[in-house]
Structure 1
């Protein structure tokens, strides 16, 4: 609150009245006008024609992404498997000590991995939904492979980190390591 004051004498009392300026009504009015403008204009997610924000996925939806990945795996086409990975994805594979961070490197890994005609199954899955576009599936899976003419079963720990990009769930990080014996 700002005050303008002047010393008044009895003779001045008829000439001038002290003026008190209260800026609070002006500030309150300005805030009210600003709030109305924001409400009228809306935010990008509330503007007409804007895509609605997607709902967070369910844990079952995220767990089901492994099934889609596995279906591509048993096509034995490494390009089809690589389509599940984001362009900037990182793969830390089970049967290689090389970090794969390009599509070409991911395709190369699966090209060799598929020589064993792998089939897989989830033994234990723990899903964490981080937000509407990010989730993690971690646990243990088992792969059955043909290696050197013999059937082999291998359990491994895994982590898939998924992001929804352009409405499609993609793997951004996939880590897999054989279980210790």
Structure 2
């Protein structure tokens, strides 16, 4: 069991989210995703579509560009090595076929510190409608 503080975990997760953005964008760093997606990882997008790792990697393959602006990130440590990460980000993507996405997203994710490395267990998103 580690003795990481919530502030240390927050700093690490902000860096992880930035690296994740780069990994799914034009760079396509599948090694990063393989290291940080736990076996059994689940992703629920803002449309309610559920994906495992293989389905998510297919989505990543379809992305021509992806950027993300982190607006809020909160971390709560539970059970010593588990972090609940929540916040808000603005994401923009262009997919093959000309689909363009521009959304503000609220998210909640659960990560586990295992062998000195954070592993994503689950990620859930909700689209925040524009306030226009």
Do the two structures share a fold, i.e. TM-score over 0.5? Answer: yes
Q: Structure 1: where are the runs of 5+ without partners?
A: 1-52
User: RMSD of the TM alignment (CA)?
Assistant: 2.5
Alpha-carbon distance in 2 for matches of 1:88, 1:142: 26
Q: By how many angstroms is 1:150 displaced?
A: 8.3
Q: CA deviation at 1:158?
A: 1.0
TM-score when normalising by structure 2: 0.76
Q: Which runs of 5+ in 2 are unaligned?
A: none
Q: Which of residues 128, 133, 146 is equivalent to 2:94?
A: 146
Which of the residues 34, 41, 49 maps onto 1:89? 41
Say whether residues 1:98 and 2:49 are aligned partners. yes
Aligned match for 2:3, one of 55, 76, 80? 55
Flag the structure with higher strand content: 2
Q: Secondary structure at the match of 2:50?
A: coil
- Quickly say closer, same or farther: Cα 1:89–1:151, change in 2 above 3 A: closer
Q: Report deviation, 1:93.
A: 2.1
Deviations 1:58-93 (A, max 9, x none): 232233321222231234427345322111111112
TM-score by length of 1: 0.58
Kept after mapping to 1: 8 A contact 2:42/2:122 = yes
CA distance in 2, matches of 1:98, 1:87: 19
Please tell me whether Structure 1 or Structure 2 has the larger radius of gyration of its CA atoms. 1
Given candidates 14, 25, 29, the residue that maps to 1:74 is 25
Q: 2:66 aligns with which of 87, 98, 118?
A: 118
Relative contact order, higher structure (CA 8 A, sep 6+): 2
1:108 corresponds, among 55, 58, 77, to 58
CA distance in 2, matches of 1:137, 1:175: 10
